[in-house]
Amino acid sequence: MSSTKERIVVSVGGSLIVPDQIDTDFLSRFKALILEKVQRGFTFTIITGGGKTARRYQDAANAVTPLSPQDLDWIGIHSTRLNGQLLRNIFVGYAHPQVVKNPTIDVESEEPITIAAGWQPGFSTDYDAVLIAKNLGARRLVNLSNIDYVYTADPKKDPNAKKIEKISWPEFRTLIPKDWDPGLSSPFDPVAAKEAETLGLEVAIINGAKLGEFSNYLDGKPFVGTVIS
């Protein structure tokens, strides 16, 4: 292994951290895996999504006072920051003491793990993760979500949807909407996809419920998931 350690950017979907209640079983397994890889020389920047916490707060606020998309976005951003704080505390002793809120500024960190969260309205955590990769010069980004693969169409709606194991950025971008909006359900945000293509970034979409596949990907072994490059 070269003396420069590879930093992997990991975007952890809020649906894994807070599918309904906070999933301590997932968090325990995720911590064990990350620390095992740290022992082997990996370093990580981990950015958190908002999950059900974001939806509940957004729905509650909207029920009392109809809010603008920007105000709803801010609630979502603060939910990602709460989840980020949760992860920072879980990795205490290994993680940088502050949650990074601006993906474009340099963070002087001696620690092997840095935790990041949402930045500003109009940006998804996918896009923040790509900006972090750009800032760090990272070559690989792992998007842990609740799907096994990217498909040619939504498999819930189209029985002929086919799983994709490897795809180029131009091809991938034909499968997703052109624009991002806060409620969008897409395997990777369109704005983030465009930026990732420009950077030549490799993004692996992996089901976070199957952390063994994430481990295999990091180790260069065959894994279940989709690589976009």
pLDDT confidence bin for 165, thresholds 50/70/90 = very high
Q: Which two tokens mark 22?
A: 């906070």
Q: pLDDT tens digits, residue range 45-56?
A: 999 999 999 999
- With tokens 């092997």, the residue in question is 112
CA neighbours closer than 13 Å in the CB half-sphere of residue 224: 12
pLDDT confidence of residue 190: 87
For the chain, domain boundaries: 7-228
Using a 10 angstrom Cβ sphere, with 0-12 exposed, 13-18 middle and 19 or more buried, the burial of residue 65 is exposed
β-pairing, 166-167 vs 140-145, is unpaired
Report the alpha-carbon distance of residue 29 to residue 189 in Å, rounded: 27
Sheet holding 43-48, edge to edge: 113-116, 43-48, 7-12, 140-145, 202-207, 226-228, 166-167
pLDDT confidence of residue 61: 96
Average pLDDT over residues 219-223: 96
Report the alpha-carbon distance of residue 174 to residue 171 in Å, rounded: 5
The angle at the Cα of 186, spanning 20 to 225, to the nearest 5 degrees, equals 85
CATH superfamily of 7-228: Acetylglutamate kinase-like (3.40.1160.10)
pLDDT confidence of residue 212: 98
Average pLDDT over residues 59-84: 95
Q: What is the mean pLDDT of the chain?
A: 92
pLDDT confidence bin for 183, thresholds 50/70/90 = low
Percent of the chain whose pLDDT exceeds 90: 79
Report the alpha-carbon distance of residue 188 to residue 171 in Å, rounded: 13
Report the alpha-carbon distance of residue 56 to residue 26 in Å, rounded: 21
Report the alpha-carbon distance of residue 132 to residue 96 in Å, rounded: 15
pLDDT confidence of residue 182: 56
Report whether 130 contacts 196 (CB < 8 A): yes
Question: Distances in Å between the alpha carbon of 141 and those of 60, 112, 184?
Answer: 33, 16, 20
DSSP state of 6: P
Report the alpha-carbon distance of residue 163 to residue 117 in Å, rounded: 30
For the four alpha carbons of 119, 129, 25 and 146, in that order, the dihedral sign comes to positive
